[in-house]
Protein backbone atom coordinates (compact mmCIF):
# COMPACT_ATOMS: atom_id res chain seq x y z
CA UNK A 1 0.00 0.00 0.00
CA UNK A 2 1.08 3.55 -0.54
CA UNK A 3 0.71 4.60 3.05
CA UNK A 4 2.35 3.23 6.13
CA UNK A 5 0.47 0.34 7.68
CA UNK A 6 -0.62 0.89 11.27
CA UNK A 7 0.72 -2.07 13.22
CA UNK A 8 -0.17 -2.71 16.82
CA UNK A 9 1.03 -6.33 16.83
CA UNK A 10 2.80 -8.79 14.55
CA UNK A 11 -0.37 -10.33 13.12
CA UNK A 12 -2.37 -9.17 10.08
CA UNK A 13 -5.57 -8.76 12.09
CA UNK A 14 -4.06 -5.59 13.55
CA UNK A 15 -3.11 -3.97 10.23
CA UNK A 16 -5.60 -1.34 9.06
CA UNK A 17 -6.22 0.55 5.81
CA UNK A 18 -8.14 3.72 5.07
CA UNK A 19 -10.71 4.04 2.30
CA UNK A 20 -8.09 5.97 0.34
CA UNK A 21 -5.55 3.15 0.77
CA UNK A 22 -8.02 0.58 -0.58
CA UNK A 23 -9.09 2.84 -3.46
CA UNK A 24 -5.47 3.39 -4.50
CA UNK A 25 -4.65 -0.32 -4.27
CA UNK A 26 -7.63 -1.23 -6.47
CA UNK A 27 -7.26 1.83 -8.73
CA UNK A 28 -10.88 2.82 -8.19
CA UNK A 29 -12.55 5.87 -6.67
CA UNK A 30 -13.06 6.33 -2.96
CA UNK A 31 -16.81 6.50 -3.67
CA UNK A 32 -16.68 2.98 -5.13
CA UNK A 33 -15.01 1.70 -1.95
CA UNK A 34 -17.71 3.39 0.14
CA UNK A 35 -20.36 1.66 -2.00
CA UNK A 36 -18.70 -1.73 -1.40
CA UNK A 37 -18.80 -1.00 2.34
CA UNK A 38 -22.44 0.13 2.31
CA UNK A 39 -23.46 -2.94 0.25
CA UNK A 40 -21.78 -5.20 2.81
CA UNK A 41 -19.23 -6.55 0.34
CA UNK A 42 -16.27 -5.03 2.22
CA UNK A 43 -16.18 -5.12 6.01
CA UNK A 44 -15.11 -1.99 7.84
CA UNK A 45 -15.50 -0.32 11.20
CA UNK A 46 -15.61 3.21 12.50
CA UNK A 47 -13.58 4.88 15.20
CA UNK A 48 -15.41 8.15 15.70
CA UNK A 49 -15.66 9.55 12.17
CA UNK A 50 -12.74 7.50 10.84
CA UNK A 51 -13.42 4.40 8.74
CA UNK A 52 -10.87 1.60 8.81
CA UNK A 53 -10.60 -1.71 6.96
CA UNK A 54 -8.67 -4.61 8.45
CA UNK A 55 -6.04 -6.12 6.16
CA UNK A 56 -7.63 -9.55 6.60
CA UNK A 57 -11.07 -8.19 5.61
CA UNK A 58 -9.54 -6.53 2.53
CA UNK A 59 -7.86 -9.82 1.55
CA UNK A 60 -11.17 -11.68 2.04
CA UNK A 61 -12.89 -9.11 -0.19
CA UNK A 62 -10.27 -9.67 -2.91
CA UNK A 63 -10.78 -13.43 -2.73
CA UNK A 64 -14.55 -13.13 -3.14
CA UNK A 65 -14.16 -10.77 -6.10
CA UNK A 66 -11.85 -13.22 -7.89
CA UNK A 67 -14.01 -16.29 -7.21
The sign of the torsion formed by the CA atoms of 53, 56, 61, 66 equals positive
Does a structural domain hold residue 40?
yes
Does a structural domain hold residue 24?
yes
Q: Residue 34 has what pLDDT? A: 98
How many domains would you assign to the chain?
1
* pLDDT tens-digit readout, 27-67: 999 999 999 999 999 999 999 999 999 999 999 999 998 76
- Return phi, psi of residue 57, to 5°: -70, -40
* pLDDT tens-digit readout, 5-34: 555 455 677 899 999 999 999 999 999 999
Say what angle helices 19-26 and 30-38 make with each other, to 10 degrees.
Answer: 110
Is the confidence at residue 3, as pLDDT, over 60?
no
Q: Residue 41 has what pLDDT? A: 97
Tell me the residue range of the domain where 25 lies. Answer: 12-66
Q: Residue 5 has what pLDDT? A: 57
The residues near 47 (Cβ < 8 Å, ≥ 6 apart) are none
Amino acid sequence: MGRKEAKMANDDSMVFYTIDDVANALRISMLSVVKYIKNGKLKSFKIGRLVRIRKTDFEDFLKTQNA
